[in-house]
Structure 1
Amino acid sequence: MSEVRSIALFGSCMTRDNFNSRFNPHYKATYRCDVAQNQMSVLSLMSEPITERWEPTKAMSDYDVWNIRTEFDKAFLGELAGSSPRPDYLLLDFFGDAHFGVLQLDDGRIITDNRWKVHATDFYQRLRDEGRLTRLHPTSDPDAYFALWSEAVDRFAEHVRLTLPETRVVVHCGHHTNLLMLPDRPRPGRLQKHRSIARIDVEAANDQWRRMDAYAVEAFGAAAIDLTGEDFPTFDDHPWGPFYVHYRMDYYHRFLAELHKIVIGDGATPTPQMVADIELAAGETPTLRLAACEEERAALKERLMSRKEEVAQLRSRVARLERTPWRRAASRLRRTRAFRARRP
């Protein structure tokens, strides 16, 4: 196995961004991403291709057009089997299913219900207007969706076993974060509260995503990279903006370190860059957590000092009231009444 390992990727930006120099500047010393499919549902991947002609209904980049074309023609399976060299690792994440769900055509074919790309085609808009599309989503009918999805995953796994027997599969366990780093607060706030964003049921979607990840690990006999037990908020300065799967930058460093560990566990000799990446990730997240704790401590101390000032001001106000003439007169009246009450 060469020092630079070939990666094939079926998933979304939460995985692809790890092989982008903006996020992991030195990843090319260890990996190259040769084959990729973006934001696609497994149900769509394992369905029959869309052969009808289509046109975008708005201006699109070449990348957007590629996304739609490969969504429709299902070319990924062929590219995966025919890739040279064969990928050392196939990385999977199931954002396409957990977030979008799918559209089933009246003839049974399936495409991803991608509101950013597929919806901006005349093909989608025509079938929608003709009532020829049925929406399926894992949070609408979880068991029904999962039954369809798991059958498709079984076929996908069998395809990989037959065509890429030496390729190691890694499931990147996913989750939607509803946490947003806020510049004026020590603790993250709720993403859906503080930013205008498409509303989803985060908890329900994540429940189904966990179910998918667990099934896929078993079906593929895969390794897993699972950082879902830790908080990685999104933030405004993420290169693609704040979103449910646009995590804080240390997430991508942690992912790369976890992938290195899998590769080393498979028998690779650690390179100096791999060791440096692992050391960076090991020290970075605790440092960020400590910084957050220090910010929170400072904020609490400031609130405490503010409360002390409020209490001092209230005490001063009470003292002033005690010194007012009506207060003194009332006090004299009480003393007079008490004196008279004691007289025989």
Structure 2
Amino acid sequence: MIYNIAVFGSCASRDNFYSGINPDYKKYFNCSISSQRGSIISLMQEPVSFKNQDIQILPENRVNKAGTQFINQDLTKNFLAEVKKFKPDYILIDNYFEVIFGIIKYENCFITNNYWDLPKTKFHTEIKPYTKINMYNDPNTYLKLYKENMGLFLDYIQKESPNSQIILNPVRLGYKILKDDNKIEVNKNFKSNAKNTNKLLKKVDNILKKQKDVITLKIKKERILDENHEWGLGQVHYTQPYYLNILNQLKQISKNDKSLLSKIYELF
């Protein structure tokens, strides 16, 4: 049986359903709903009005089209409508962008502070001045907002797609890099960033982990980064065993065999 899965988070979750990384995933899962570079806090707000040309990133190329799409998803909140329509078996969530981006508050509105894409748009200029709220500058406020809006999200899922199982992918930044000669090299800048950011990720994750019926994937060992990753070297661009491990855990979850899940061996 092939199960439908939705992803809300980062490439560390979405890449598990990409044939270039997990070639056999389509034997088990269909990932037709995906939203990246967003925040649950933003997701649970009212949709934001905008003109298409105001969020378009130019020149048109693969990267800029993706950036425009991510902004569109964040402002329209269309992930909710898609979940309501397709009612996926599973919803895989990670909090990477909750911590990396945080949110922007302008007027009475919260949107994701997507500082990779938003500054390239006319829309970004039109919403100034705004206030940034994130885990770095105001963790107490951010955690409160996250808890409130995650509660709203879970209530929405319970109402509109009650058979969807929520799964948390506890993403953490890596700093050890697999080199071409198969040796592991520690990147000091990556390590400093990872130590700080991973503590913040853990705090946000703990809120979701405590929610009833949420399953948390088990990543016990360090995440090794791939120098030759398809999307380039990055702190959540891992080596192949990471993705195989995630896929194996999801396969076991789909079989509803918790005893087997607890016996999965870490592959790296």
For 1:200 and 1:100, how far apart are their aligned partners in 2?
Answer: 18
- Structure ranking higher in helix proportion: 1
Offset at residue 15 of structure 1 (A): 0.5
148-157 or 45-54, larger mean C-alpha shift: 45-54
Task: Find 1:209's aligned residue among 201, 211, 225.
Answer: 201
Q: Is residue 2:245 matched to residue 1:248?
A: no
- The correspondence for 2:216, drawn from 204, 211, 224, is 224
- Please report the TM-score for the alignment, with normalisation by the length of structure 1: 0.70
Structure 1 runs (4+) deviating above 4 angstroms are 281-284
- For the pair 1:14 / 2:17, whether they are aligned, the reply is no
Q: Kindly tell me: are residues 283 and 49 of structure 1, through their superposed partners in 2, closer, same or farther at Cα, counting changes over 3 Å? A: closer
Mark the runs of 5 or more structure 1 residues left unpaired by the alignment. 194-198, 271-280, 286-344
Q: 1:57 to 1:15 in 2, by over 3 A?
A: closer
Identical amino acids, percent of aligned pairs: 24
Give the match for residue 98 of structure 2: 97
Specify the alignment match of 2:144 in structure 1: 147
**One-letter amino acid of the counterpart of residue 37, structure 1:** S
Q: When the two structures are superposed, what TM-score results if normalisation uses the length of structure 2?
A: 0.89
Structure 2, unaligned runs of 5 or more: none
Q: Residue 70 of structure 1 is aligned with which of 52, 68, 73?
A: 73
What RMSD, in angstroms, separates the aligned Cα atoms of the two structures? Answer: 2.4
Query: What is the number of residues matched between the two proteins?
Result: 260
Structure of greater relative contact order (alpha carbons < 8 Å, 6+ residues apart): 2
SS in 1 for 2:58: coil
What is the Cα deviation at residue 119 of structure 1?
Answer: 2.0
Greater Cα offset, 57-66 or 147-156: 57-66
CA distance in 1, matches of 2:266, 2:8: 30
Pairwise CA distance, 1:17: 0.4
Shift of 1:148: 1.1
Equivalent residues of 2:180, 2:227 under 8 A apart:
no
- Show the counterpart of 2:25: 27
More strand as a share of residues: 2
What SS does structure 1 have at the residue aligned with 2:92? strand
Tell me the equivalent position of 1:335: none
Give the match for residue 114 of structure 1.
114
Contact 2:104 2:132 in 1 (8 A): yes
Q: Deviations over 1:277-301 (max 9, x none)?
A: xxxx95853xxxxxxxxxxxxxxxx
Deviations 1:260-286 (A, max 9, x none): 12112259xx9xxxxxxxxxx95853x
Which protein has the larger Cα radius of gyration, Structure 1 or Structure 2? 1
The secondary structure found in structure 2 opposite 1:265 is coil
Aligned to 1:64, what secondary structure does the other structure show?
Answer: helix
CA contact (8 A) 1:98 1:206 kept: no
